Structure 1
Amino acid sequence: MIDLEVRHLESFIAVAREGSITRAAERLYLTQQAVSAHVKHLERALKVTLLIRTHRGVVLTPAAEELVAGGRAVLAEVAQLAERVRKIAHERTGTLRLAFCPYSMTLFAAEVAEAVETMVPGLTVELASVRTPREELALLDAGDADAAFMWLPIGDVGLRYAPVRTDKRAVALPADHRLADRGRVTFADLADEPVVCPDMFTSPEAERHWIADPRPDGTPAPRGPRVAQIEECFLMVARGRGIWLAPEPLARWAPAMNIRWVPIADADPVDLAVVWADRAADDLIATMIAEVRTLVGEPIDGIDRVA
């Protein structure tokens, strides 16, 4: 493919119009050396002579006359293309409805909404806070939300998703627990500890994942009390009824009183994902995913998957 650059073509057409490299350089606010180099690059790329230099300026060759005619059309098309791209990127209007669970996600969701609205002027991002992942799925299924932030896995629910952040896992322990002062623990340390199980998971697969059942050595996880809400998990842990396994960001949201969060050394990390239904506008979803990954600063392979 011939190596032609728009800036070289612009310089050449300015020379043709002015009849002088000096005057073309002044018009383009470039040095004479830069303009001359641009023209020479075109001549090498096209393997033709474009300019005959004289003491009174330059004379165009027949090849140069053809390049002027076609080059002007190319530059006009490039300018029109750039304008169309800018219009699509910056004049999109509408609403993007984003659901999330409030625990550790409120400030993050607000930051994402602000970034996406800045990137797409005219777009409004509406945030819907719900209590459980099941409620997020209900909003997506009913068409009352376009996308949601959810930790994977969510099971076979027929939705598309893209991971945007990876989080470590931690365990919530009573403040007086024998492991509460550890810098980290393993599943072997937690082998006999019953796990509090909130009744909010989107699938049996998700429930097994979040309570780490089975454990790395193949043994079943001891199941503790089943509760309806996240708040009850903290209550059960604080009262010594069991432990709770959760993404580490929840440790920054949960009250520290009577609870200690300890990282789990041998737990697989968990992915936070943008989840959306086919009815959502792909271009807006793609913009949001790109902005989230920019905010997080953590590129992740795999842009679009199906759950």
Structure 2
Amino acid sequence: MPLPPWISDLPALDLLVSVAETGSVGRAAQVHGITQPSASARLAKLERRLGVPLLVRSRRGSLLTPAGEAVVAWSHGVLDAAQTLADGVLTLRADRQARLRIAASLTVAEYLLPAWLLALRRPHPDLDIAAAVANSNGVVSAVRAGTADLGFVESPDLPPDLSSRVVGNDRLALVVAASYPLAAHAWRPLRATDLADQPLLLREPGSGTRDTFLKALAASLGFAPSLPHAISLGSTTTILSTVRAGGGVGVISARAAASAVAAGELVELQVEGLSLTRPLHALWLGRTPTALAAELLSIAAA
């Protein structure tokens, strides 16, 4: 059964309790920091809304009617619960202002997030920051569950129930060991169809890197290939180690491969018609992020 509308007038009930405690509308008004006419108007409105007389006014002050005494007795528990609610909400607000919980997919966590957090820490040296690393699906789950105030993902598909903002871009690279057979022909771009027979080293299902690559490959071919020789690996580090051992074609962020490619350990392959650039998104629950999350968003986007 829904609550009646007048139950929301807690300030008027609180004022009525003060009248019972002080014996006067004027003294109760002083306790609440309002004028006596304003207090009288609030109490009169409360009487009209409840439909019962609450006070009898005399030269000696204001006396509660029997109905007023009953309402005051019942109001104590309600007001105590309301105060508990108010105190709890204020504590939550203070906690949100002093703590920031982040979930980030691997590429963002390893190559971008540290610098962002360092920039945020400078004006907030006492800020409590908790950062968790997960694949894009895990990040979405954390934000949706409220265990992360802000999430960063690489996935091309964004959940419609979360707010989002582009904070940067990333590019995937297809890399092989310098001794791998395809490396000798790296000067000649491959066709997308050439990848189907290769042992592709992909991140696990739920990874934004994997989803971006598979979506780009399907768009280039016009259909989703079966990729019978593809291998799923749980981290970029594992993919790099397997690539160095000659285990196949690694599909990772170009940021992760840059130093090894520059050193000549790995060779980046080129594929005609395969677009591997992807946006990086920040996600949050609700229409607007928390103040600290909004500040980190500005740093990331800059």
What interval of TM-score do these two structures reach, taking the shorter chain for normalisation?
0.5 to 0.7
Which is further off, 179-188 or 132-141?
A: 179-188
* 1:162 positional shift: 1.0
Q: Could you tell me which residue of structure 2 aligns to residue 278 of structure 1?
A: 286
- In the TM superposition, 1:258-269 aligns within 5 A as 259-262=266-269, 264=271, 266-268=273-275, 269=277
The normalised TM-score by structure 1 is 0.52
Q: Percent identity?
A: 20
- 8 A contact 2:166–2:279 mirrored in 1: yes
- Cα distance 1:265–1:289, how it changes in 2: closer, same or farther (>3 A)? farther
Q: Could you tell me which residue of structure 1 aligns to residue 143 of structure 2?
A: 140
- In the TM superposition, 1:1-307 aligns within 5 A as 93-103=97-107, 105-118=109-122, 121=124, 124=127, 126-156=129-159, 158-180=161-183, 182=186, 185-188=189-192, 190=195, 192-201=197-206, 207-211=210-214, 212-221=216-225, 222-230=227-235, 231-252=237-258, 259-262=266-269, 264=271, 266-268=273-275, 269-278=277-286, 281-294=289-302
- 8 A contact 1:172–1:243 mirrored in 2: yes
Amino acid at match of 2:116: V
Aligned partners of 2:179, 2:223: CA distance in 1, in Å? 26
- 8 A contact 2:199–2:231 mirrored in 1: no
Aligned partners of 1:99, 1:279: CA distance in 2, in Å? 18
Deviation digits for residues 256-302 of structure 1, max 9, x if unmatched? Answer: 796433455643211112122228734433322221122xxxxxxxx
- 8 A contact 1:175–1:258 mirrored in 2: yes
- 8 A contact 2:97–2:291 mirrored in 1: no
Q: Could you tell me which residue of structure 1 aligns to residue 34 of structure 2?
A: none
Deviation digits for residues 162-186 of structure 1, max 9, x if unmatched? Answer: 1111122210223322332525744
SS in 1 for 2:100: strand
Aligned partners of 1:184, 1:145: CA distance in 2, in Å? 45
- 8 A contact 1:102–1:129 mirrored in 2: no
Aligned partners of 2:206, 2:270: CA distance in 1, in Å? 22
Aligned residue pair count: 200
- Cα distance 1:117–1:235, how it changes in 2: closer, same or farther (>3 A)? closer
SS in 2 for 1:145: coil
Amino acid at match of 1:229: G
Aligned partners of 1:104, 1:236: CA distance in 2, in Å? 22
RMSD: 3.6
Amino acid at match of 1:146: D
SS in 1 for 2:220: coil
Aligned partners of 2:181, 2:219: CA distance in 1, in Å? 20
The normalised TM-score by structure 2 is 0.53
SS in 1 for 2:116: helix
- Cα distance 1:198–1:107, how it changes in 2: closer, same or farther (>3 A)? closer
Q: Which has the larger radius of gyration?
A: 2
Amino acid at match of 1:175: A
Unaligned runs of 5+ in 1: 1-91, 295-307
Higher fraction of helix: 2
* 1:146 positional shift: 1.0
Aligned partners of 2:98, 2:126: CA distance in 1, in Å? 5
- 8 A contact 1:104–1:253 mirrored in 2: no
* 1:94 positional shift: 1.6
* 1:229 positional shift: 0.7
Deviation digits for residues 64-101 of structure 1, max 9, x if unmatched? Answer: xxxxxxxxxxxxxxxxxxxxxxxxxxxx9422222224
- Cα distance 1:258–1:220, how it changes in 2: closer, same or farther (>3 A)? farther
* 1:154 positional shift: 3.8
